[in-house]
Amino acid sequence: MNENKKVVVNLTEGTTQAEVTVREGAATKVLDPKAPIKIDIRGVIGAPVEFLDKRLSEEEQINPKRCHVIVDRANITITLVTSEDDDYHRGQITGVLEEHPKFKEFGINAKKIWEPNELGQFFKMNRAFFPDKEKNMKLVTELKNFEATINSKIEKQKSEKGDFKDNYSGVVLSNLPEAFSLRIPIFKGAEAEIIEVEFYASVNGRDVGLHLFSPGACQLLEDLRDKVIDGQIAKIRELSPEIAIIEQ
């Protein structure tokens, strides 16, 4: 049964005409409240500084007394934690210092074994990382025309007391230079560094595999890691001295 109901409409001052729409039926369901989206960002090593620089003026999001930074030098990460005492709003921004993909691709100081012709083709396609293009072309030619002489020596000896010695040694003589130079970034987002890379040949029967080693790159990895992390810590302290920085 229809019931007559009075509807009072208040118009703003100065309004002489208005249109009112009356709808019948159930009202639209009110959506259930949702929890806030927690910040969980992972990026390059400078991500925490970038986030802090752009959000520091947002008092509701950044309260320096309720933030802290965790520095993990072993895993080369810096993590900014916001709203640390609030499970509902806590956020985390992690910056990671990772090796450059191309540095990994070369397999320097890794267990990667290259077949000479394969390595020659790889060097040819990555000429941009060689500071001297002519030396790159020469190295490519030498690898594609790889020649190696394996001098082996087998020594067997048995004494009257029963002691026995059986040794095998091999020396690889090749047409390759002892070392070459690369201009390549060690870490993502870092500038390119010039490093010296050495060849090491491993013998498996008649096959010779090539490894790439660089003691200089090992030293650079250690030096750059601390330099970059210390630089990021200094920027955080400059932006907000009240944020606690904790080294793990």
Burial (CB < 10 A; 0-12, 13-18, 19+), residue 152, is exposed
Whether residue 171 is predicted with pLDDT greater than 70 in this model: the reply is no
User: What average pLDDT does this structure show over 171-186?
Assistant: 81
User: Which of the four pLDDT bands, split at 50, 70 and 90, describes residue 135?
Assistant: very high
pLDDT value of residue 191: 86
Kindly write down the DSSP assignment for every residue of 31-86, as one continuous string: PPP-PPPPPEEEEETTHHHHHHHHHTT-TTT--GGG-EEEEETTTTEEEEEESTT-
Are 24 and 73 spatial neighbours (Cβ–Cβ below 8 Å)?
Answer: no
Question: Tell me, what's the pLDDT at 2?
Answer: 57
pLDDT digits (tens, 9 = 90+) for 35-65: 778 889 999 899 999 999 999 988 878 999 9
Percent of residues, the chain, with pLDDT higher than 70: 84
Q: Is the pTM of this model over 0.75?
A: no
pLDDT exceeds cutoff 50 at 125: yes
User: What per-residue confidence (pLDDT) applies to 168?
Assistant: 42
**How deeply is 40 buried, as exposed, middle or buried, from its count of CB atoms within 10 A (0-12, 13-18, 19+)?**
exposed
Using only C-alpha atoms, what is the Rg of the chain? Answer: 33
Query: What is d(CA 113, CA 31) in angstroms, rounded to the nearest whole number?
Result: 60
What pLDDT, on the 0 to 100 scale, is given for residue 153?
Answer: 45
Q: Which of 79-83, 130-134, 204-208 has the lowest mean pLDDT?
A: 204-208
C-alpha 186/C-alpha 188 separation (Å) is 7
Residue 175's pLDDT is: 74
**How much is the mean pLDDT over the chain?**
84
Dihedral, CA of residue 189, residue 58, residue 68 and residue 75, to nearest 10? -20
Closest CA to 130 of 192, 210, 211, 178: 192
Whole-number Å distance between alpha carbons of 113 and 17: 85
What is the distance between the alpha carbons of residues 78 and 230, in angstroms, rounded to a whole number?
10
SS3 readout for 205-231: CCEEEEEEECHHHHHHHHHHHHHHHHH
Report residue 38 as tokens.
């927690």
- How would residue 206 be classed by pLDDT, with cut points 50, 70 and 90? low
